[in-house]
Amino acid sequence: MADPYYITTAIAYPNGKPHIGFAYEAIAADAIARFQRMRGRDVRLVTGTDEHGLKMAQTARAEGRETLDFATEMSGYFREMCSALNIAYDDFCRTTEPRHHKASEAIWKALEAAGDLYLDRYEGWYSVRDEAFYAENELVDGEGGQRLSPQGTPVEWTVEESWFFRLSKYRDYLIELNESPGFLEPESRRNEVLSFLKGQDLRDLSVSRTSFDWGVPVPGSDGHVMYVWVDALTTYLTGIGFPERDGDFARFWPANLHLIGKDIVRFHAVYWPAILKSAGLPPPRAIFGHGFLLHRGEKMSKSLGNVVDPLELAERFGVDQLRYFLLREVSFGQDGSYSAEAIVTRCNAELANSFGNLAQRTLSLVFKNCDGLLPEISGLISEDDELLEMIGRVTSQDVPDAFERLALSQGIEIWMAAVFACNAYIDVQAPWALRKTDPQRMQTVLATLYIAIAQLAVAILPVIPDSAGRLLDAIGVAPDLRSFSAIQSDWYSPLAKSGFHLAQPVGLFPRLELPLEAV
């Protein structure tokens, strides 16, 4: 049976429609999942919406809506976004579902059985927007002396009865876990968490609320609902069948990767492993905290009027173009910036002018000069061998190795260098001129390019699945050949002998035009 691989996105908080930051995370997670599937692994990608908490209740009330009705509508927008951006998730979990309540209750009872819950009074600073508690020494001063969280969000002094989780008990365990190689990446995130763990005593965590009732009820404790982050984090277990311990749960847990934004690293690298440890479950194998997307170098906010609907970007520039730009432009793990000009420039230069033009030129020559039949290979010379060797190495080793390390931008850069090499080869070999002087050599050159283009299309499938898939369909590469290893086999000769006929080539990437009003 194929080796399992379990990846999750953060569970989105749907008090508003999805923004470009969540689209970026979903696209990255989808690309990683597709990459692992192409490596032959049995992949499970889980995403969803975190619908409980005070912020959701307040937003629904402000709109005069029933909270569940509002949550259902907003969750639907996230599903629509995933569909529109070609996110091939395996499960979409809503925290309002009965199966998730069952999983959350099971986790709570496990913490209780471990002796890690006690009833006390919570008195401290709470951010409704972050759904997070903060110590006095973590706060910063805002305008007019207002106290703000480290994220710059308002906090309010909160006093209420609460169940507490003995987080302090797990401080040494959490330090050791976060110091272990590969658990939390990139390094900057790991350093932040270790600084937090080592720099102060770890306070026990308030894990229930009584000031509102929109949440998972605490078993056996009337009037208490679970702290929204306990409930939200448990979604990673819900998506693989917990509290059942066999079947999918036994196969996929611990998760191979939690892919999250850098602003919620503490919840995942501190609270979540401690909760799992208390419940007798192993921690995830890896957590990766990616950076923020900035619009023209500025953080997006409604007050600045620069919040952009990712579906509008996809409709304007194309789904694969948007996917390619975000994964190519932003060094994964760091903050990145985008603009309409940057999308148009990058996609035209690399997708339209480089890869798209390479495929169009080559296939048009095959269609016109070989009657659509695959050109014959009549003896390769050193230039052909060198190109095919380089393309084979890049597509079977270099790009997959980069993707495996989550160096997505680097992997695409390596891929693009191979595309440039193919364009240099076709310019030097000039098969359009060979048609008159050496038709046999022309066919060998076109066959070399045909093979290279197929390998390049397979290598970039995780990033631009629709466009690369259509190209592979057009050139006759069967689905069972669309893996990093299979495409290195001799598939070309059998396809040529089968009498496969290439249809009139159609351009993959129309040139983008900058809109009159830049996004």
The CATH number of residue 273's host domain is: 3.40.50.620
* Boundaries of domain holding 71: 4-291
CA distances from 422 to 168, 384, 418, 455 (A): 58, 10, 6, 12
Question: Do 357 and 264 share a structural domain?
Answer: no
Do 85 and 27 touch, CB atoms closer than 8 A? yes
Question: Do 53 and 178 share a structural domain?
Answer: yes
Q: Is the C-alpha dihedral spanning 482, 485, 491, 492 positive or negative?
A: positive
CA distance 47 to 50: 10
Do 130 and 141 touch, CB atoms closer than 8 A? no
Parallel, antiparallel, or unpaired for β 257-261 and 293-295?
A: unpaired
Give the pLDDT confidence score for residue 130 in this predicted structure.
80
Question: Do 408 and 263 share a structural domain?
Answer: no
The DSSP string of 230-290 is HHHHTHHHHTTTTT--SHHHHHHPSPSEEEEEGGGHHIIIIIHHHHHHHTT-PPPS-EEEE
Give the residue from 249, 272, 291 where a domain finishes. 291
Does residue 298 form part of some domain? no
Give me the amino acid identity at 262.
K
CA distances from 57 to 224, 289, 389 (A): 15, 28, 59
The residue among 372, 359, 376, 375 whose CA lies nearest residue 501 is: 372
What torsion, rounded to 10 degrees, do the Cα atoms 157, 160, 166, 170 define?
-20
Do 106 and 99 touch, CB atoms closer than 8 A? no
Give the pLDDT confidence score for residue 159 in this predicted structure.
84
Is residue 80 classed as helix, strand or coil in its secondary structure? helix
The residue among 237, 221, 228, 222 whose CA lies nearest residue 206 is: 228
Give the pLDDT confidence score for residue 145 in this predicted structure.
74
Question: Do 452 and 361 share a structural domain?
Answer: yes
Q: Which residues contact 190 (CB under 8 A, 6 or more apart)?
A: 178, 179, 183, 184
User: How many folded domains does the chain comprise?
Assistant: 2
Question: Do 353 and 250 share a structural domain?
Answer: no
Give the pLDDT confidence score for residue 306 in this predicted structure.
61
Does residue 515 form part of some domain? no
Does residue 337 form part of some domain? no
The residue among 508, 420, 409, 501 whose CA lies nearest residue 468 is: 508
Give the pLDDT confidence score for residue 517 in this predicted structure.
58
Give the pLDDT confidence score for residue 518 in this predicted structure.
53
Neighbours of 91 (CB within 10 A): 16
Question: Do 182 and 34 share a structural domain?
Answer: yes
Which helix (H) or strand (E) segment holds residue 125: the answer is: strand 117-127
Give the pLDDT confidence score for residue 474 in this predicted structure.
97
The burial class, CB within 10 Å (0-12 / 13-18 / 19+), for 245 is exposed
Q: Which two tokens stand for residue 412?
A: 């695409």
Buried b (16+ CB within 10 A) or exposed e, 428-453: ebebeebbeeeeebbbbbbbbbbbbb
Question: Do 358 and 250 share a structural domain?
Answer: no
CA distances from 381 to 49, 84, 378 (A): 56, 45, 10
Q: Per residue of the chain (519 residues), what is the pLDDT tens digit?
A: 789 999 999 999 999 899 899 999 999 999 999 999 999 999 999 999 999 998 899 999 999 999 999 999 999 999 999 999 999 999 999 999 999 999 999 999 999 999 999 999 988 788 888 878 788 888 888 877 788 988 888 988 888 899 999 999 999 999 999 999 999 999 999 999 999 999 888 999 999 999 889 999 999 999 999 999 999 999 999 999 999 999 999 999 999 999 999 999 999 999 999 999 999 999 999 999 999 998 876 676 554 556 778 999 999 999 999 999 999 999 999 999 999 999 999 999 999 999 999 999 999 999 999 999 999 999 889 999 999 999 999 999 999 999 999 999 999 999 999 999 999 999 999 999 999 999 999 999 999 999 999 999 999 999 999 999 999 999 999 999 999 999 999 999 999 999 999 999 999 999 999 876 554
Does residue 310 form part of some domain? no
CA distance 147 to 150: 10
CA-angle at 322, arms to 186 and 312, nearest 5°: 120
Does residue 157 form part of some domain? yes
Does residue 202 form part of some domain? yes
Give the pLDDT confidence score for residue 519 in this predicted structure.
47
Question: Do 164 and 38 share a structural domain?
Answer: yes
Question: Do 144 and 230 share a structural domain?
Answer: yes
Question: Do 243 and 362 share a structural domain?
Answer: no
The pTM score is 0.94
Give the pLDDT confidence score for residue 284 in this predicted structure.
98
Question: Do 396 and 257 share a structural domain?
Answer: no
Does residue 370 form part of some domain? yes
Give the residue from 244, 267, 291 where a domain finishes. 291
Does residue 185 form part of some domain? yes
Neighbours of 110 (CB within 10 A): 17
How many CA atoms lie within 13 Å of 68's alpha carbon, on the beta-carbon side? 8
Q: From start to end of 55-111, where are the E strands?
A: 91-94
Question: Do 141 and 69 share a structural domain?
Answer: yes
**At 481, which CATH number?**
1.10.730.10
Which helix (H) or strand (E) segment holds residue 342: the answer is: helix 340-346
